[in-house]
Amino acid sequence: MGNLIPLILLACVAQVLNSQTQLKPRTITLLRGDTARLICSTAEPWQVMVWILNSGSVLTISAQYGILSNNPNVNAINCSTSQLSIWEFTLNRVQRSHQGQVTCDLQNIQRLTADLFVQERGNVAITGGNVTVLKGEEILFRCLAVGWYPEPSLTWLVNGREVDQGQYNISTERPVDADGLYNLTSNLSVQAAESSHVECLASVSALPTPEASSVRLTVVAEVGVENVCDDCAVLIAVTASVSAVLLLLLLSICIVLCYRRRRRAKSSLPEAIRIDESKSGRSAVAEATGGEVNLGYTTEGHSDAGRSDLIVTGETHSQMNSISAHKIPDVVSSSNFSLTNSQSNASTAHCGDGSKTVRRITTV
C-alpha cells in the first residue's frame, strides 16, 4: 500500500508534463519540394532542444544561446511567450528521403515524435485527343498516369459526372525506377449517344486538387440531319438568288454595250459613204485628166449665165436646147491635151483663174 502511492503520484506528474509539452502536428503529409513546419512547445524549464530527422540530429537549440547548429536546409523560429517556450521547426524542400519520423527532444525532460510523409505528383493524359464519331458507335478512351507516389487514385468524369467504376478498368505498373514511382493505365468505354466532355483525374492525398486531362467527344448525329439539310437549303437558295441577280446584271450590261455600238455604227455610216464618194470622184477626174485634182471642183450642175454672156443669132426661129458649163481640172501639160468635138459647130476656149469654161450651143 505504501509503494502504490508513489507510483500514482509519478503517473499524475507524467500526465501533467505531457499536457504541458506538445508537438504539432503529429502527422504531416507533403508533396516533394514543399516545406514542413512543426511546433514544439513546453511549460517546463529546459536547457537543450534537439530536432532529429530519421534518427539523425539536424538542429540543436540552446535555451540560453539560441540555435547552435548551421544547416541551410533547416531552420527554427522562437515564438515563445511569458508562459510557454515555443519553437517552430522548418524543413525546406522536403524530399522522398526525408520521409519518416521527426522528433523534438527536450533533453532530460521529454521526447515527442511526428510522422512525415512525402508524396510525388506525376502527370496524367488522355491519349488520342479529341474524337468525332457517329451516334451509336462505341469509343474507347485511354488515360495514362505516370510518375506518382504513392499509387494515385484515378477516376473518370463525363460531363462533370463521375463514371461508375464498373465502366472502366485500371492496371498498375509496379515501381521500376530508383524513386519507386507508380504508373497507371485506365481504359474507359463509352457509347456515343451525345457530345460530351470527358475527363481523367489522378490524385494523391497531398494534392489540393486532382491533376486532370480532358478531351471532347463530338457525336455527329447530335447536330441533326434536319438542321443540316435546312442550312444547306438556305445556302443553296441564297447562292441561286445571288447568281441570278449577277446574271441579269451581266446581260443588261451586254445589251447596253451592243446597243451603243450599233448606234455608233449607224451614225458613222453616212459620213463614211460621203468620204468614199468624194475620194472616188476625185480619183476618177484625176485619172481622166492625168493632172492634179482641183479641190474647187463640184459635180453639182449649175448655170453660168450670170457670169458669162451668151449671144444666139439666126434668121429662123431658134431654141436653145441645152446650155451646160463644166469646170475642168487644170491640165498638167497643155501641149499633150486636145479637145475635139465633132458635133459642135463652134467652140470657144477661155482661160482665166486657172480654169477653163467651155460653152456648147446646139441650134435647130
pLDDT for 224-244, tens place per residue? 444 545 566 777 888 888 899
- How many whole angstroms separate alpha carbon 55 and alpha carbon 48? 17
109 and 128 assigned to the same domain = no
Q: Long-range contacts made by residues 158-167, C-beta under 8 angstroms, separation at least 24?
A: 158/190, 158/196, 158/197, 158/198, 158/199, 159/196, 159/197, 160/197, 163/188
Residue 194 in any domain: the answer is yes
106 and 129 assigned to the same domain = no
pLDDT at site 33: 95
Mean pLDDT, 10 residues at a time, the chain of 364 residues: 45 48 95 96 94 93 90 92 94 94 94 96 94 92 94 94 92 73 93 93 95 95 52 78 89 88 76 58 52 52 42 40 44 41 40 47 51
Residue 185 in any domain: the answer is yes
Judge contact between 145 and 153, C-beta under 8 A.
no
Residue 151 in any domain: the answer is yes
User: CA nearest 108: which of 5, 16, 17?
Assistant: 17
155 and 177 assigned to the same domain = yes
pLDDT at site 303: 44
Domain count, the chain: 2
CATH number for the domain that contains residue 134: 2.60.40.10
Residue 49 in any domain: the answer is yes
Residue 260 in any domain: the answer is no
Given 220, 240, 270, the domain boundary residue is 220
Q: Which domain holds residue 88?
A: 18-119
Given 119, 137, 158, the domain boundary residue is 119
Strands 100-106 and 85-91: unpaired
pLDDT for 53-68, tens place per residue? 998 999 999 999 999 9
pLDDT at site 6: 45
pLDDT at site 324: 42
pLDDT at site 291: 52
- How many whole angstroms separate alpha carbon 201 and alpha carbon 148? 13
Contacts of 187 (CB under 8 A, 6+ apart): 140, 141, 142, 143, 168, 169
63 and 35 assigned to the same domain = yes
Residue 361 in any domain: the answer is no
Given 119, 137, 161, the domain boundary residue is 119
86 and 168 assigned to the same domain = no
31 and 83 assigned to the same domain = yes
59 Rama sector, left if φ>0, alpha if ψ -120 to 50, beta otherwise:
beta
- How many whole angstroms separate alpha carbon 75 and alpha carbon 59? 8
